[in-house]
Amino acid sequence: MTKQLFLADEIFRRCLYYIRALCENASSSNGGLGTGEDAIVFVKLDGTNTYSCEEFAEIQSEQCNYALKKLCELRYKIIQSVKEACLEKAKMEGFGNVFRAEPGDSIERPALTEIIESRPLLALFFKFLKLVDYLFQELVCRLVKTAVQLLLDALTDSYMRTSTDERRNEELLRWGVKAWSLLI
């Protein structure tokens, strides 16, 4: 039971810390906005400009494409890190010839007994991959929540803000009501 609870040894733990740091840079757990060049945001909002629906949709489409590109880069980094960790673990366990970095065309293949003996290690890799997947799912969930919150805040601010024309009309109505009350 202890082996199942604490499957992350030093190799896997180092990889998980690295992946967690990548996810934290992409979208901070404190506020949802990432840091620097690694930050990923699904929506792009500019409160200083007014856009038509088509312009807004175009800007958001561009931002989504950019965010997708950043997510793909992050995914690639995570895959490389997981691959290195699993290969290092396989070599440490004595199955370096069963698990290779690149599938080769070499004639030398591992023996069937080596493949069968490596099954517990495959189960360990599967559990490790589930942990990595949970981290990535948490990141995507945080990114979506942040995007929805940013959009809600922008729409609320826009709703609460009155335009200058609307303010001028309200002032004219107040002035007209005062003038009318003076006449009566």
pLDDT at 107 over 80: no
Residue 69: per-residue pLDDT = 95
Q: What pTM was computed for the model?
A: 0.75
71-95 pLDDT tens trace: 999 999 999 999 999 889 888 888 7
Chain centroid offset of residue 151 CA = 17
Residue 138's pLDDT is 93
Residue 36 is predicted with a pLDDT of 83
- Across the range 56-78, mean pLDDT stands at 94
What average pLDDT does range 17-42 have in this prediction?
Answer: 87
What is the 3-state secondary structure of 143-173?
A: HHHHHHHHHHHHHHHHHHCCCHHHHHHHHHH
In 3D space, the residue among 38, 70, 44 whose CA is nearest the CA of residue 56 turns out to be 44
pLDDT surpassing 90 at residue 66:
yes
Residue 2 pLDDT > 70? no
Q: Is 10 exposed, middle or buried (0-12, 13-18, 19+ CB in 10 A)?
A: exposed
Tell me the pLDDT band of 155, cut-offs 50, 70 and 90: confident
More confident residue, 25 or 101: 25
Instruction: Please tell me which residue, 104 or 27, carries the higher pLDDT value.
Output: 27
Percent of the chain with pLDDT over 90: 36
Q: What pLDDT score was predicted for residue 1?
A: 31
Residue ranges per structural domain of the chain: 8-183
Q: How far is Cα 99 from Cα 180, in angstroms, rounded to an integer?
A: 89
Q: What digits encode the pLDDT tens for the residues 37-48? A: 888 999 998 878
Averaged pLDDT for residues 116-133: 86
